[in-house]
Amino acid sequence: MADHAAPAHHRTVASVDGALARAVELATRGPAWGPNPRVGCVILAPVQDTADDGAVGPRVVLAEGWHRGAGTPHAEAAALAAAREAGVDVRGATAVVTLEPCNHTGRTGPCAVALEQAGVAEVVYAVADPNPVAAGGADHLAAHGVRTELRPTPAATELVRTWATSAAASRPYVIVKTAATLDGRVAAADGTSRWITGPEARAHAHEVRAAVDAVAVGTGTVAADDPALTARRPDGTLAEHQPLRVVVGRRDVPDGARLRTEAGGELLQLATHDVAEVLAVLAAREVRTLLVEGGPRLATAFLEAGVVDELHAYVAPVLLGAGPGVVGGLGITTIADALRWRTHDVRRLGDDVLLTARSHPSRPRPTSQEA
């Protein structure tokens, strides 16, 4: 049996909410990268007994499934396959899914149709599908007599947040990473920058690389730092997933550069300074999450374009007093026009601190055509 689909008819859950929590847990087994969201599905047996007060007792889990990445069965299809393999009848059952079942034929068939044809009587999902290409699953189910319920949960929403933002905006979710001193310098006056942050912060940065689709730097950073842009484990070996390595700018990447000589993700050079063009090319390649690592000119360009969704600011307890700053001029002349973010998390990494901030939800998110 495929390890992404499992019969679970020996298991019970206290409620639909319990099944939804389990579906989120299953979904996290799928990859954080790739064009598709992480989704989990739990199929519950029909209600058999109720207490005197009308409360529904524990529900038997008939099957479970999760999505393992592009080209593999979606979570609902995986759970249905597990049920079939185990000889379990799902007619009249409740399917609990972290994301609205798709209504689209792509690499795989539409999950809404699969659930309806399997005889499932009810579908509970936590997040409505924001992708206009695949949305409409709940409507299809309702039109074919299947009860549907949207039951939002913070955990399921967070699970697909970057993917949902990308799908809604028709561009990659953009994370800008900075590593600076307390006085906002990314390098010393002579241009040296290795290392401002300590090993714990650098290890975390590699974890982030291993979870995104692409990482981008400018040609200036290639010339100054000769980065490899690989994702590595603490022991120095390459991580399972390597992001697409994107170089933005018109200067060629030298033949002897580590980007050309070291193993890692595919190298893509975009000979442009147009952020909208960069995002359009990456969106066409189904890049959902882009990590912008350097340098200050590239970070400034993305900030000026208004397309940055998240900031990862690594701050080291170091003072330089001079040297290039984190970003260049943004055309801001008064505090009222400052770009403001919401602090999501503050984390200590050795002697350094990582501040993660997210774009304010009230701020418009330009598409790649509008940027």
Whether 138 and 279 map to the same domain: the answer is: no
pLDDT at position 51 is: 46
pLDDT at position 5 is: 52
Q: What are phi and psi of 263, to 5 degrees?
A: -65, 145
Q: From 318, 311, 321, 348, select the one nearest 197 (Cα to Cα).
A: 318
Tell me the pTM.
Answer: 0.87
pLDDT at position 242 is: 97
- Asked whether the predicted pLDDT for residue 53 surpasses 60, the reply is no
pLDDT at position 58 is: 78
Assign 331 a pLDDT band (cuts: 50, 70, 90).
confident
CATH code, domain with 293: 3.40.430.10
SS3 27: helix
**Inside any domain, residue 112:** yes
Residues 218/249, Cβ–Cβ less than 8 Å = yes
pLDDT at position 7 is: 53
SS3 134: coil
- The residues pairing with 341 across neighbouring beta strands, listed in sequence order, are 359
If you average pLDDT over residues 30-43, what whole number do you get?
94
Whether 323 and 284 map to the same domain: the answer is: yes
**Inside any domain, residue 371:** no
If you average pLDDT over residues 1-5, what whole number do you get?
45
Residues of the chain with pLDDT > 90: what percent?
74
Instruction: Burial-class residue 356 by CB neighbours within 10 Å (0-12, 13-18, 19+).
Output: middle
Structural domain containing residue 205: 170-359
Assign 193 a pLDDT band (cuts: 50, 70, 90).
confident
CATH code, domain with 96: 3.40.140.10
> How many domains in the chain?
2
Residues 8/86, Cβ–Cβ less than 8 Å = no
Count of Cβ atoms closer than 10 Å to residue 234 Cβ: 10
Q: What are phi and psi of 293, to 5 degrees?
A: -100, -25
Radius of gyration of the chain (CA): 23
Whether 245 and 179 map to the same domain: the answer is: yes
Q: Which of 122, 148, 166 is the last residue of a domain?
A: 166
**Inside any domain, residue 155:** yes
- At which residue do the structure tokens 């002579």 appear? 190
Please state the separation of Cα 119 from the chain's center in Å: 32
Task: For residue 111, give the DSSP letter.
Answer: H
**Annotated catalytic sites, by residue?**
76
pLDDT at position 198 is: 94
Q: Report helix, strand and coil shares of the chain as percent, to nearest 5.
A: 25, 25, 45
Q: Which of 142, 166, 190 is the last residue of a domain?
A: 166
pLDDT: which is higher, 15 or 309 = 309
Whether 138 and 219 map to the same domain: the answer is: no
If you average pLDDT over residues 324-339, what whole number do you get?
89
Residues 12/5, Cβ–Cβ less than 8 Å = no
Assign 1 a pLDDT band (cuts: 50, 70, 90).
very low
| Average pLDDT value over all residues in the chain | 89
Over residues 155-184, the pLDDT tens digits come to: 999 999 999 999 989 999 999 999 999 999
pLDDT at position 367 is: 44
**Inside any domain, residue 368:** no
If you average pLDDT over residues 187-210, what whole number do you get?
92
Q: From 14, 104, 6, 97, select the one nearest 60 (Cα to Cα).
A: 14
Instruction: Burial-class residue 35 by CB neighbours within 10 Å (0-12, 13-18, 19+).
Output: middle
If you average pLDDT over residues 339-346, what whole number do you get?
94
Pairing of strands 289-294, 214-218: parallel
